[in-house]
Structure 1
Amino acid sequence: MKVQGKNIVVTGGGNGVGRELVLQLLNKGAMVVAVDINPAALEETAKIAGKNPRLFTEVVDISNKEAVFAFAKNAIEKYGIIDGIINNAGIIQPFIHLNELEMDRIERVMNINFYGTLYMVKAFLPYLLKCPEAHIVNVSSMGGFLPVPGQSVYGASKAAVKLLTEGLSSELKDTNVNVSVVIPGGIATDIKKNSNIAYQTSSDSSKANKVLTPEKAAELIIATMEKKKLRSYIGKDCNLMKVFYKINSKLAMGMINRVMATNTH
């Protein structure tokens, strides 16, 4: 679905990849509804966009089912039509093993990453099915197909997003709604900070050149929508590990274990 002239909802639009998605969609001629739980972050996105008249912001907690369904209903009433949604919002867990992870942290990750995506799809799908052409993009993660120590619940949430999207694609194959899942590797964003996790940044250029910038990630996500691709693996690290994992999953898991053991989080 070409985005020019379309009305598109983007979750997590207050920072990182979500903000870049908003800005690039606007530059391509779309009308954008940026969704975030943080009103100050949305205001900053609007400021960077130059108070673009095609940008609208909505403060929504996507982990709240009633709030998401109310938002979808209000969005249709306010904007007339929504042609596409990009479910980008997500958080990670603290870098600790499952046995040490508290249930409230587990529930928060699942509620935002999986249920937030599910609520958005369920809330908007009836309206999307009435459009001449529509598209759903769900953002998963490399951690959704390759286990990462200390991120088991995050990985489970993103694996659920991947399978949900692929199943939905099969169910909608004879409709006007296309579905895509984007599977990124590392992206240079503030996801740890936004997930309320203490962290340190690294200046290691050999690692940095394998990590996507938010700008490039957003560009590839929009390209996935416009090319109607079911599945996109984006980032050098993600594509490399996808190959390794198919050839020898035990070897790939060992590589990830070694990388995680040497990194400072």
Structure 2
Amino acid sequence: MQLSGRVWVVTGAGSGMGRELVLELLRRGARVAAVDRNPDGLVDLTALADAGGRLSTHVVDITDRAAVRALPDDVETAHGAVDGLVNNAGIIQPFVPVAELDDATIQRVLDVNLMGTLHMVQAFLPRLLARPEGHVVNVSSMGGFFPFPGQTMYGASKAAVKLLSEGLYAELLDTSVRVTVVFPGAVETSITANSGVEQPTSDSDSKVPMTAADQAARAILKGVERNKLHVYVGTDAKVMNLAIKVVPRTAIRFVQKQMSKHLGAPQLTKES
């Protein structure tokens, strides 16, 4: 889908990859409605973008269904139409096993990552279908197809986003709306701090190379321009996508051993 001259809605726009997606869309001649629950992040984004009327900001918590339902009208008031939606907002869970998660934490992860994405799709899809061309971009995660101990509920929520996106793709094949689902690997963002989660300790020797947020944004938009269904961001996401298909048990055990050094999780027992 063409980016220039189109109106895009981006959630989680106040920081990290969302901010870079907004800036890159603006550089490419798009108009953008930036959505975030943090007003300070949107203020900083506005100053950084210096895009005038091509950028509007909307303080919305995507878990608030009523606020999300009102958002399409606000976007169309600001820009006259809406052509694309990027569901980028998301949070991770505390780095602990499922058995140690309380109900409220589990519900919050599901509400933001899955239900928030669903609310946005339901609110904007009728507007996208009315346009000559539309696009839905849902950001899943490498954790949405590969299990990481200590992030199981996060992974489950992102796996649901993957299947939600693929289902939408199938349902919309005979329409003018295309669907892309994105699987970022390790990206340099503030998702840990924004999620209120403490980063586990790690040895300097075991640090994973991370993709810069602006590089990730460019990779995502390149995939959107090509109407790709799946976009893998970062070498780690591409490698793990192959590993889980070719040697799943070996790959899972390797990652579990690496993470157990920092999480104190029990070792997986050898399968018979």
TM-score of the pair, normalised by structure 1 = 0.95
1:225-244 matches, cutoff 5 A: 225-244=224-243
Contact 2:26-2:51 within 8 A present in 1 as well: no
Deviation at 1:262?
3.0
RMSD of aligned alpha carbons: 1.7
2:79 matched residue in structure 1: 79
* Counterpart AA for 1:17: M
The equivalent of 1:154 in structure 2 is 154
- The one-letter code of the counterpart of 2:213 is P
SS of the residue corresponding to residue 82 of structure 2 reads coil
Cα-to-partner distance string for 1:10-35 (whole Å, 9 max, x where unaligned): 00000000000011100000001100
Unaligned runs of 5+ in 2: 265-272
The amino acid that maps onto 2:87 is: N
Conserved in 2, the CA contact under 8 Å of 1:143 and 1:154? yes
Gapped regions of structure 1 (runs ≥ 5): none
Secondary structure in structure 1 of the residue aligned to 2:53: coil
Q: Is the 8 A contact 1:165 1:179 kept in 2?
A: yes
Preserved contact between residue 94 and residue 150 of structure 2 (Cα < 8 Å): yes
Match of 1:68 in 2: 68
Tell me which residue corresponds to 2:267. Answer: none
Answer yes or no: is the 8 Å Cα contact 1:211–1:236 preserved in 2: no
Deviation at 1:232, TM superposition (A): 1.1
Structure 2 counterpart of 1:223: 222
Alpha carbons of 1:41 and 1:264: their partners in 2 closer, same or farther (altered >3 Å)?
farther
The code of the aligned residue for 2:54 comes to: R
Query: What whole-Å deviation, never above 9, does each CA across 1:175-203 have from its counterpart, x for those lacking one?
Result: 00000001111111111100001226868
Whole-Å Cα distance in 2 between the matches of residues 205 and 5 of structure 1?
46
Q: 2:150, 2:263 within 8 Å by CA — same for their partners in 1?
A: no
Counterpart Cα distance in 2 of 1:220 and 1:203: 29
- Kept in 1: contact 2:31–2:79 (CA 8 A): no
State which drifts further: 147-156 or 199-208.
199-208
Distance in structure 1 (CA, Å) of the matches to 2:89 and 2:203? 26
Deviation at 1:78, TM superposition (A): 3.5
State the match for 1:123 in structure 2: 123
The 5 Å alignment of 1:2-151 reads 2-151=2-151
Structure 1's 175 and 211: CA in aligned 2 closer, same or farther, altered over 3 A?
same
**TM-score of the superposition, structure 2-length normalised?**
0.93
